[in-house]
Amino acid sequence: MSEKLLFIVMTDTAEVGLPGTSRTTDQIDSSVSDLMNTIAALHNQIATLRMQNSEIQARLLDAVVANESLQKQVLALNKRIEDSIKPPLFIASVLEVRDGEALIRQHGNNQEWLVECDKQLEVGMRVAVNNDLAIIRILKGTLDERALIMELIDTPDVDYQMVGGLEKQIQEVRETVELPLTSPEVFKNIGIEPPRGVLLYGQPGTGKTLLAKAVAHHADATFIKMSGSELVHKFIGEGARLVRDVFQLAREKSPTILFVDEIDAVGGRRTHDGTVGSAEVNRTMTQILTELDGFRERGDVRVMAATNRIDLLDPALLRPGRFDRVIQIPAPDEAGRMQILGIHTKNMSLAGDVDLQSLAATTDGATGADLKIMVTEAGMNAVREKRSAVSMDDFRYALAKLRKGEESEPHGMFA
């Protein structure tokens, strides 16, 4: 078939080559017009394709715009996901586990929630939960985190006899903290409110914690100590809630002396630099203020706080109704040092040559804690040399050693 066609084309070509034949001109005309038609048809097709093309271009543009807006949505959603797994997270305990679900109880407010969870949970586990009640992670251990930021002693075994050189301060603390606990009627009868909070301030090692424990002992009260710096550093996002919990515990265990050590860590002048850390500190501190302000029947819980840096404290803490009694705990004078040396050597066997008075005279600037270390060091030296009594030489050795330590570390002993 195709061979036949080829043959015709070849004869046609041969005839076209022959001049003067009208039949071939007609044929050419018709071919030309055929070609013109084809060209016209092709033009049409091109026009149609152009139109289609510009339509597609337009649609592409729409798609690009839509894509951009979707990208933006993706970014926003990612941010939300990120935010939702970031602290603040609540702590909850797992009460029950069923397939894919768990019953949890939020700490602090004791609300219970049934939540979906694909993690391997067990009853009793502690979990961190976000605002949308999604379990973000499982916390190690089943320990009550209050235990990490506080120390609870039913009745401390420290009495006023063990606090040296602070008679005036002991007197003040007895009136403001002990008396309201042991004889609240005295205040009622006279018609005055005892000071709400008492702030002890003074350099490290002067006996602030010791004094607070002694008051708790004499008032036969529970002693709860919480540390401001641990509160803000161990449980970011939980500080305020822990403060609430600890105050709650203080009420449950009353009569209580609640001792807030290092209050400057939370009660420093409130900064507003917008960082998470300072927001956290501010929230924790605000909670302490709220607890102080909100104490109606405060007779049973007395709050004491301590700081080394009163100059850093937010004046809001020192307003009436808060820590409105400020007691300075100074480093001991010579008589005070003598008393403190007496306290810490009471159970030691001392050689006849030991002259505590001259030790007190030569330890100007030493705090109670320094003196305690010196006494222990002297005792250690006697033990090392297998002697049964501690001699004056042991004390001289200990003193020299501590002074030497002081030279290399000038903010320590005898500063």
Ligand X SMILES: Nc1ncnc2c1ncn2[C@@H]1O[C@H](COP(=O)(O)OP(=O)(O)OP(=O)(O)O)[C@@H](O)[C@H]1O
Binding residues vs Mg ion (CB under 5 A): 208-209
Please list every residue from 192 through 211 that binds ligand X, using CB under 6 A: 204-210
Q: How far apart are CA 147 and CA 272, in angstroms?
A: 30
Q: Whole-number minimum distance, CB 207 to Mg ion, in Å? A: 8
Question: Hey, what are 14's tokens?
Answer: 């041969």
When binding is defined by CB under 6 A, the residue of 180, 194, 195, 368 that contacts ligand X is: 368
Is residue 259 within 8 Å of 214, Cβ to Cβ?
Answer: no
Is residue 312 within 8 Å of 271, Cβ to Cβ?
Answer: no
Please list every residue from 243 through 262 that binds ligand X, using CB under 6 A: 261
Which stretches of 174-207 are DSSP H helices? 179-182, 184-190
Task: Confirm or reject binding of residue 163 to ligand X (CB under 6 A).
Answer: yes
Q: Whole-number minimum distance, CB 369 to ligand X, in Å? A: 3
Considering the complex, state which of residue 289 and residue 306 has its C-beta at the smaller distance from ligand X: 306
Q: How far apart are CA 386 and CA 393, in angstroms?
A: 14
**Residue 303, binding choice from Mg ion, ligand X, none, Cβ under 5 to 8 Å by partner class:** none
- Phi, psi for 317 (deg, rounded to 5): -70, -25
Task: Confirm or reject binding of residue 372 to ligand X (CB under 6 A).
Answer: yes
Q: Cα–chain-centroid distance for residue 12?
A: 99
When binding is defined by CB under 6 A, the residue of 102, 127, 166, 374 that contacts ligand X is: 166
Q: Whole-number minimum distance, CB 267 to Mg ion, in Å? A: 15
Q: Which residues pair with 105 in a beta bridge?
A: 93, 112
For residue 141, is it left (φ>0), alpha (ψ between -120 and 50) or beta? left
**Which residue stretch of 31-39, 163-171, 222-230, 357-365 sits at the interface with ligand X (rule: CB under 6 A)?**
163-171
Q: Whole-number minimum distance, CB 273 to ligand X, in Å? A: 27
Task: Confirm or reject binding of residue 350 to ligand X (CB under 6 A).
Answer: no
Q: Which residues pair with 137 in a beta bridge?
A: 128
What is the contact mask toward ligand X in residues 277 to 316, using x (rule: CB under 6 A)?
A: -----------------------------x-x--------
Q: How far apart are CA 49 and CA 213, in angstroms?
A: 93
Q: Whole-number minimum distance, CB 211 to ligand X, in Å? A: 7
For 320, half-sphere exposure in the C-beta direction (CA atoms, 13 angstrom radius) is 2
Q: Whole-number minimum distance, CB 304 to Mg ion, in Å? A: 11
Helices 392-408 & 368-384 angle (0-180, nearest 10): 120
Considering the complex, state which of residue 292 and residue 341 has its C-beta at the smaller distance from ligand X: 341
For 179, half-sphere exposure in the C-beta direction (CA atoms, 13 angstrom radius) is 16
**Residue 237, binding choice from ligand X, Mg ion, none, Cβ under 5 to 8 Å by partner class:** none
Residues making contact with ligand X (CB under 6 A): 163-166, 204-210, 261, 306, 308, 340, 343, 368-369, 372
